[in-house]
Amino acid sequence: MNQFSPRTSRRALVAAMAGAALALSACSGGGDGSGGAGGPQPAGGDGAITVFNGSTGTVAENFNPFSPTALQPTLGVVHEALFYYNLAAGGDPEPLLGESFSWNEDGTQLTVVTREGVTWSDGEPFTANDVAFTFNLLWGTPELNTSGIEAEAEATSDTEVVFTFPTTSFVQEAQILGNQAIVPEHVWADKADPATDINTDPVGTGAYTVDTFSPQSYSLAANPDYWGGAPEVQNVRYIALATADAASSALLAGEVDWMSAFFPGFQEVLADEPDLSWINTPGATTTIHTCSNAELGCEGPQSDPAVRQAIYQALDREQLNQLAFAGIAQMPSTTMLLPDRDEEWIADPEATLAPETPDVEAARATLEAAGWTEGADGIYERDGERLSMTIQVVSGYSDFISAIDAMTQQLAAAGIELSSTQLAYNEWNANQQNGTFQLSMDSIGFTPSTDPYYTYFPKYTTANTLPVGESVGSNNFSRYSNPVVDEAVATAAGTEDQAVKAEQYAVIQEQIATDLPYIPVVIGSTLTEFSTARATGWPTDEDTYAFPASWKSWDNGIVLKNLELVAPE
Residues 204/120, Cβ–Cβ less than 8 Å: yes
Whether 220 contacts 211, CB under 8 Å: yes
Residue 76 and residue 512: Cα distance in Å, rounded? 34
Nearest to 293 by CA among 302, 281, 282, 280: 302
| The amino acid at 504 | Q
What whole-number distance in Å separates Cα of residue 501 and Cα of residue 478? 24
Torsion of CA 508, 513, 514, 517, to 10 degrees: 90
On the CB side of 72, CA atoms within 13 Å amount to: 25
At residue 279's C-alpha, the angle toward residues 17 and 92, to 5°, is 150
Query: Which helix (H) or strand (E) element contains residue 130?
Result: helix 128-140
Do the Cβ atoms of 119 and 183 come closer than 8 Å? no
User: How far out from the chain centre does Cα 251 lie?
Assistant: 23
Cβ(9)–Cβ(32) below 8 Å: no
DSSP 296-309: GT--SGGGSHHHHH
What torsion, rounded to 10 degrees, do the Cα atoms 468, 474, 477, 479 define?
Answer: -70
Three-class DSSP category at 548: coil
391 phi/psi in degrees, rounded to 5? -115, 130
Question: What is the distance between the alpha carbons of residues 285 and 334, in angstroms, rounded to a whole number?
Answer: 10
Total residues found in the chain within this entry: 569
The pair phi, psi for residue 277, each rounded to 5°, is: -140, 170
| 418 phi and psi angles, rounded to 5 deg | -125, 130
Residue type, 243: T
What's the fold here for domain 83-188?
Dipeptide-binding Protein; domain 1 (3.90.76)
* Pairing label, strands 527-531, 258-259: antiparallel
Give, in order, the Cα–Cα distances in Å from 270 to each of 14, 311, 532.
Answer: 10, 36, 12
CATH architecture of 10-62+207-281+527-565: 3-Layer(aba) Sandwich (3.40)
What's the pLDDT score for residue 24? Answer: 45
Would you kindly state where each structural domain of the chain is located, as residue ranges? Answer: 10-62+207-281+527-565, 83-188, 284-524
Which of 250, 395, 266, 251 lies closest to 325, judged by CA? 266
Fold of the CATH domain 284-524? Dipeptide-binding Protein; domain 3 (3.10.105)
DSSP 125: B
Phi, psi (5° rounding) for residue 439?
A: -130, 150
Give the phi and the psi of residue 392 in degrees, each rounded to 5.
Answer: -95, 150
What is the reported pLDDT for 17?
Answer: 36
The answer, as to whether pTM is greater than 0.75, is yes
- Helix, strand or coil, per DSSP, at residue 3: coil
Q: Please report the pLDDT score of residue 243 as a whole number.
A: 64
The pLDDT value given to residue 46 = 62
pLDDT in tens, the chain (569 residues): 222 222 222 223 333 333 333 444 434 333 333 333 334 444 445 689 999 988 877 899 999 999 988 999 999 999 999 999 998 888 899 999 999 999 999 999 999 999 999 999 999 999 999 999 999 999 888 888 877 788 999 999 999 999 999 999 999 999 999 999 999 999 999 999 999 999 999 999 999 999 999 998 999 999 999 999 999 999 999 998 876 568 888 999 999 999 998 777 788 888 889 999 999 998 899 999 999 999 999 999 999 999 999 999 999 999 999 999 889 899 999 999 999 889 999 999 888 899 999 999 999 999 999 999 999 999 999 999 999 999 999 987 888 999 999 999 999 999 999 999 999 988 999 999 999 999 999 999 888 889 999 999 999 999 999 999 999 988 999 999 999 999 999 999 999 999 999 999 999 999 999 999 999 999 988 889 999 999 999 999 999 999 999 999 999 999 999 999 998 76
CA neighbor of 121 nearest in space, from 226, 3, 16: 226
* CB contact set of 471 (below 8 Å; sequence gap of 6+): 430, 433, 434
The residues near 543 (Cβ < 8 Å, ≥ 6 apart) are none
Q: Which pLDDT belongs to residue 258?
A: 96
